Structure 1
Amino acid sequence: MTHLRWIGCCLLLPLLAACGKPESVPVHAVPVLVEHPAGNGGVAVGAYPGEVRAREETALSFRVGGKLLRREVDAGQRVSKGQLLAELDVADYNLQARAAQAQFAAAEADLVRARDEHKRYQTLASQQLVSQSALDAQTAALKAAQGQADAARANFDVARNQSGYAQLHAPEGGMIASREAEAGQVVAAGQTIYTMAADGAREVAIALPESAIRDFSVGQAVEVELWNQEGKRLSGSIREIAAAADPQARTYAARVSLAADALDTVELGQSARVFIAHGKQG
Structure 2
Amino acid sequence: MLRHALPRAVPVCLVFLLAACGHEEPVQVSISPAIVVQPQPSAVATQSYPGEVRARFDPQLAFRIGGKVTKRWVDEGERVKANQSLAELDPQDVRLQLEATRAQVAAAQANLSLVRSERDRYKTLLERQMVSRSQFDNAENLYRAGEAKLQQLKAEQDVASNQASYAVLRAPQDGVIAQRQVEVGQVVSAGQTVFSLAADGERDVLISLPEQAFGRFKIGLPVSVELWSQPGQRFSGRIRELSPSADPKSRTFAARIAFTAGQVPAELGQSARVFIAQEGVNALSVPLSALSAENGATYVWRVGQGNKLQQVAVRVGPYGQSSVPVLEGLTPADWVVAAGVHVLHDGQEIRPIDRSNRTINTAAKE
Q: TM-score range by the shorter chain?
A: 0.7 to 0.9
Q: Does 1:38 align with 2:42?
A: yes
Matches within 5 A, 1:121-140: 121-140=122-141
2:8 match: none
1:221-280 deviation digits (Å, cap 9, x = unpaired)? 2222223443332222221222233333222211111235443x2111111111112254
Partner of 2:274: 274
Aligned to 2:188: 187
Aligned match of 2:121: 120
2:206–2:256 contact (8 Å) kept in structure 1: yes
The residue aligned with 1:236 is 237
**CA separation in 2, counterparts of 1:222 and 1:131?**
85
**Superposition pairs for residues 1-282 of structure 1, below 5 Å?**
38=42, 44-263=45-264, 265-281=265-281
Q: Which runs of 5+ in 2 are unaligned?
A: 1-40, 283-366
Q: Could you list the per-position Cα deviations for residues 32-56 of structure 1 after superposition, in whole angstroms to 9, with x for gaps in the alignment?
A: xxxxx938xxx63212111110111
SS in 2 for 1:57: coil
- Partners of 2:261 and 2:187 lie apart in 1 by 42
Q: Distance in 2 between matches of 1:245 and 1:269?
A: 23
- TM-score, normalised by the number of residues in structure 2: 0.63
Count of matched residue positions in the alignment of Structure 1 and Structure 2? 242
Find the aligned partners of 1:161 and 1:276 in 2 and give their Cα distance: 49
Task: Provide the rounded CA distance (Å) in 2 between the counterparts of 1:38 and 1:74.
Answer: 44
Shift of 1:151: 1.4
Residues 79-126 of structure 1 show CA distances to partners (whole Å, capped at 9, x for unaligned) of 111111111111111111111111111111111000000000011111
Q: Which amino acid aligns with 2:77?
A: G
Task: Please give the alpha-carbon distance, in whole angstroms, between the structure 1 residues aligned to 2:276 and 2:261.
Answer: 19
Give 3-state SS (helix, strand or coil) of 1:218's partner. coil
Task: Tell me, yes or no, if the aligned pair for 1:46 and 1:275 is still in contact at 8 Å.
Answer: yes
Given residue 51 of structure 1, which amino acid in structure 2 is its aligned partner?
E
Give CA-to-partner distance per residue, 1:159-201, whole Å, 9 cap, x none. Answer: 1211111111111111111111111111111111111111111
Pair 1:178–1:260, CA change in 2 (3 A): farther
SS for the counterpart of 2:59 is: strand
Report if aligned partners of 1:201, 1:260 keep a CA contact under 8 Å in 2. Answer: no
* Other-structure match for 1:8: none
Moved over 3 A (4+): 259-263, 279-282
TM-score, length-scaled by structure 1: 0.80
Cα deviation, 1:9-28, whole Å, max 9, x if unaligned, reads xxxxxxxxxxxxxxxxxxxx
Larger Rg computed on CA atoms: 2
- Identity, in percent, stands at 50
SS at match of 2:278: strand
8 Å CA contact 1:234–1:262 kept in 2: the answer is no
**Structure 2 CA distance for aligned equivalents of residues 166 and 160 of structure 1:** 10
Aligned partner of residue 146 in structure 1, secondary structure: helix
Which amino acid in structure 2 is aligned with residue 84 of structure 1? S
Q: Which amino acid aligns with 1:219?
A: G
Question: Between Structure 1 and Structure 2, which shows a larger proportion of helix residues?
Answer: 1
Give the Cα separation in 1 of the matches to 2:263 and 2:48.
Answer: 19
Letter aligned with residue 53 of structure 1 = R
**1:122, 1:99 → 2: CA distance?**
34
Equivalent AA in structure 1 for residue 153 of structure 2: A
Aligned amino acid, residue 223 of structure 2? V
Which stretch of the first structure deviates more once superposed, 245-254 or 202-211? Answer: 245-254
- Aligned partners of 1:81 and 1:170 also within 8 Å: yes
RMSD of aligned C-alpha atoms?
1.9
Structure 1: distance between partners of 2:122 and 2:245: 71
Equivalent position amino acid for 2:64 in 1? R
Q: Distance in 2 between matches of 1:153 and 1:278?
A: 64
